[in-house]
Every structure is written in structure tokens, then in C-alpha cells.
Amino acid sequence: MEGQIASVILAAGKGMRMESQVPKVIHKVCGKPMLLHLLNTLEGLQLDRNIVVTGYRENMVRDILPRDINYVHQPRQLGTGDAVKQSAQALEDFNGAVLVLCGDTPLLTRGTLLSLIEAHEQGGHDVTILSTVFRDPKGYGRIVRGAAGEVRRIVEEKDASPEERAIREINAGAYVFGKRRLFQSLAQVQPNPKKGEYYLTDVVGIINREGGTVGSWVCKNPTEVLGINNRKQLARAEKILKTRIIEQLQKAGVTVFDPGTTFVGVDVRIGYDTIIQPLSFIDGLSSLGKNCEIGPNATISSSRIGNNVQIKNSVIEHSEIESGAIIRPFTYIRENRVMQWAAVGV
């Protein structure tokens, strides 16, 4: 990356379709709030500044944020355009590009975001949009292109004509803006007549109208840009991320006999030649050493397991099992216990 880049992550909404009193962005995917998945992805990009826009039950959101993350408050949830406006003061002394993301997209990868940023820098655009192509684009805003293939505007599905709804290229909700152009254009956005909200997507049409340049980068893996608006979509994201985690473990030399009945959290670390038997559940900040045999029916939560450990049909919580230990079936170890080499249990 060539210039300075700040991120603005939109995390102010309630998420009405989740049917929950908990803000949508702190619902967990593979044991971790979806917002933190996105922030972890950004860590690898080493951006100059990260800002989270909070709103609904913001104390719950702020409680999970790392200490080095800046946050701003959106008093009323008046749409994505209004949410980004709240970051203006926090970016007052910043002169680089602004990466805008939605907090409910935990499947985005570092590589995709890096490609989006590079497309923006190399194209010299005022805004560069992340898009992808869905077989069924229902529920997403559509990318409307001109005769030469240039992006003309983004139309929300509820405002789209039948012809526009037939478009399969969708807006993924991730953008890189030139800061000055972004806030100049936001000042011109008018509330949507149907919902009274200020759409960030309207900025694209404004930039085009004023002679600016709009670029795009098409993500080749549509699953990365899936947003989460309800419990069904949450379960789908869980399945996709769980598959990614287990495939990464397999590539690193871990045997997982039945991925369909095995859960491994995103922060878990496992050494090579360890075997995970079916119906095992490993989560939290757990670390497992080399050449272990875990399961079947083992539960390990936020625990440190040494090398050459066997754990069968047992529960280990917030404890340490030293190398060589054998944990026999129906053992329950908890609350910071340290188990040395032994055959423990019945």
C-alpha cells in the first residue's frame, strides 16, 4: 500500500431481523463476535487508523473493542451515509484514503481487502467499490454500469426497477474513498423518501455527476462478502468459517476425522500430528501441543494442553494439562487447575 489509509467500520445498527436485544455485530461466529473477526483481518493490513461507529447499545459493543480502537457515536440510526458522517471529526487531521466496511461481514479476507485498496491506488479513483456476482442477488444493492462497463451508480433493491433487479453484480458494502471527496459528497446526500435514511451508496452517483472517477474490484469468492442479517445467515457464516478453520488445520498437519461433527474456534492453536476425533469441541484461547489425541466427545475451553496428551470423553475448562498426561473418560477439570503427567479419571 502506498499512502495512508484509515478504516471506518459501521457497527451502530440493532439488526432488527436478528430478533435480539444484543447488537448484531457482537453475535458470535465460531466463538468470536463478528465485529472482532473484521478487526482481526484489518490488523494484518497495518492501517494508520481504525474507527468503529457505534450506536445501538453501544456500551456492549465498546466493551469488546481492543483498547487501541477509536470509536464514534451515531446518535440516531439514520443510515450508512449518516453513520460515516460521524467519523468526520475523528478524521479531521487525516489526509489519506478511507476504507469503509460493514461490521456484519466477518468472512472478508485480508487478501480481498488488500486487492481493493491496491485497485483504488493504482486506478487513482475517487472511490473504489467492492462487488461480486451472485446467482441469486436478492436482498443486495445492484451495481449499475454504463455501456463501457464503468460503474454509474448503486441502486438498493427496494428502489430498483425490474431491469435493475435482474442485475447479478451486487454491492458488497466495502469501499475505498478519497477522504475529501467522501465528505464533500456526503454533505449532498438527501434522505431516502421511503425510509428517511441517508444512503452511503448515493455518494457514488454524486461523484459521477460531478466528474469524479469510480472504480471497482470484483471479488471472485462470493462467500466472502456475505452479510449477516438473521439467524439463518449467522448459521451459514458459522459453517463457512468453520470449514476454513479446519482446512487450515489440516494443511498444518492436524488430523480431523469428521469435520462435520468437530468444532474448533478461530483463536485455537493446535500442533502438528495431533488427532481430533469426532464430536470434539475446542474453543476460546485454547492451545494444543503436538501429537495429542483429542476425543471423541472432548470439550476443551480456553485451556493449554501440552504435547502427547490424550483426552477422551472429558471436559477441560480454563486449565493446563502438562505434556504426557492421559485424561480418561468422564473427567471434568476446571478453574485454573494444572494437571501434571498422570492418568486422570476413572
Q: Please compute Rg for the chain using Cα positions.
A: 23
Indicate the domain borders of the chain: 5-225, 252-344
Q: How far apart are CA 135 and CA 155, in angstroms?
A: 18
Instruction: Provide CB contacts within 8 A for 196, sequence distance 6+.
Output: 78
So what's the architecture of 5-225 in CATH? Answer: Alpha-Beta Complex (3.90)
pLDDT value of residue 71: 93
pLDDT along the chain (346 residues), means of 10: 89 92 95 95 93 96 91 94 97 96 96 97 96 93 93 92 95 96 96 90 94 95 94 96 97 97 96 98 97 97 96 95 93 78 53
In the prediction, which pLDDT does 346 show?
43
Class of the CATH domain delimited by 252-344: mainly beta
Separation between Cα atoms, residue 283 and residue 277, nearest integer Å: 15
pTM assigned to the model: 0.91
pLDDT of residue 267: 94
Confidence (pLDDT) at 188: 97
Distance CA 177, CA 80 (A): 14
For 285-307, what is each residue's pLDDT tens digit? 999 999 999 999 999 999 999 99
pLDDT at 343: 55
Instruction: Give the per-residue pLDDT at 1.
Output: 64
Look at residue 4 and give its three-state secondary structure.
Answer: coil
pLDDT (0 to 100) of residue 68: 83
Q: What confidence score (pLDDT) does residue 324 get?
A: 94
**Local structure of 68: helix, strand or coil:** coil
The catalytic site residues sit at: 17
